[in-house]
Amino acid sequence: MSNSIGIYIHIPFCQSKCPYCDFFSMRKKSDDYINYAKILKEKIKYWSKKINKTVDTVYFGGGTPSVIGSDLICEILQCINENFNLNKNAEITIEANPASGKFFDFNNAKKYGVNRISLGLQSANSNELKLLGRLHSLEDVKNTIGLIRKSGINNISLDVMLGIPTQTIESLKNTLDFCINSDVQHISSYILKIEKNTVYYKKRENYKFPDDDLTSDLYLFSVKYLNEKGYNQYEISNFSKEGFESRHNLKYWNLEDYLGIGPSAHSFIDKKRFYYERSINDFKNDIIINDGNGGNEEEYIMLQLRLKSGLDIKKFEEAFGHKPSKSFFNKINLYKKSGFINYTDDKVSFTPKGFLVSNAILSELI
């Protein structure tokens, strides 16, 4: 069992709901922010009495955490610091939207230990931003990056979306060039998934989404181009300069302990999975859903193969007392011949082409 833990804090508020978003979020007023922060602090105190582990990562996600302002973020961080053993070298990340980020006091956040910002760029093309329902302009992004750097926070990640309506290789290159020229440390490049209960799903006939072939080309182009420019792929959708991988997100893929606080937040502690429902009232009333045991062989294989480094067979054997089945290796060799998987020196990993169909392959492997 690990003696360290990551804490995820869910801030379920946004200035507006994007047409592609299926995360638990809503529009509220500042009084609601204050009340919600009070509930969060109560839950932080509650969990600190149950968990005796050092906190080495904190991640504020949402929603749009920056929309509630730096004062409340800092109050919540202070509460974590007072109730948990927060490592002095902890990675502390806040997700921010450039539309609200320009009003966020990054200097204040830096004083309370924030050292990483994940900024929702999505696209550097104004027509694509409009189709995504984003409230910010490219100028807002530039200004927000400037404010972050001025505060002394030097670890910046930009989110980029693939599969946006009307997107082309050329428009994606323009977005990636913006990230590269901004000299950020980390880039997350996600393929848009059309989820039910989103505007994109309900009105999907009205949008010109790239087909599967073009979406594949967009992904493969981003992998090749970012690697050429010094951003190493370390997970299906994540790229960074050396030493700037997201330590918090790596906990998920490496089956390390993390505590999720907030409606819809999931936790994995001492091999147990549980989560809060998508309801502030249920969260307030301590309604927690047990999700069974985690960390079995199948889950271990699935999560390790999300990483570019892949599955280490020797580490698997150390963890479970035996190697994967003969059937597993037979299938691995077939996928290796097809160019979907690399298998050398007791390491199994997906190729970029393999990552594109990883869900289908994993269902066969495990």
- DSSP for 250-311 reads HHHHTT--EEEESTT-EEEETTEEEEE-S-HHHHHTT-EEEEEE---HHHHHHHHTTBTT-E
Closest CA to 98 of 183, 156, 25: 156
- pLDDT tens for 56-94 read 999 999 888 999 999 999 999 999 999 999 999 999 999
Tell me how many domains the chain contains: 2
Domain assignment present for residue 11? The answer is yes
- Are 206 and 91 part of one and the same domain? yes
For residue 271, is it within any domain?
no
Contact in structure between 257 and 269 (CB atoms under 8 Å): yes
Quote the distance between the C-alpha of residue 316 and its chain's center. 25
Q: What does pTM read for this prediction?
A: 0.93
Mean pLDDT by 10-residue block, N- to C-terminus, for the chain (366 residues)? 89 70 59 93 97 97 91 97 97 92 92 97 91 83 96 97 93 98 97 69 65 94 98 97 98 97 96 94 94 94 97 96 94 95 94 95 91
- Separation of alpha carbons 162 and 140, rounded Å: 21
- 124 located within any domain: yes
Distance of CA 295 to the CA centre of its chain: 20
**Per-residue pLDDT at 99:** 82
Digit-coded pLDDT (tens) for 41-56: 999 999 999 999 999 9
pLDDT digits (tens, 9 = 90+) for 250-280: 999 999 999 999 999 999 999 999 999 989 9
CATH number reported for the structural domain that contains residue 248 in this entry? 3.20.20.70
Same domain, 316 and 241: no
- Tokens 């109050």 belong to 75
Inside any domain, residue 323: yes
Looking at the structure, do residues 100 and 169 belong to the same domain, yes or no?
yes
The CB density around residue 263, as the number of other CB atoms within 10 Å, is 24
- Tell which of 252, 287, 319 closes a domain: 252
Distance CA 281, CA 259 (A): 19
Q: Output the pLDDT for position 261.
A: 98
Q: Are 125 and 168 in contact (CB under 8 A)?
A: no
Domain that holds residue 332: 306-366
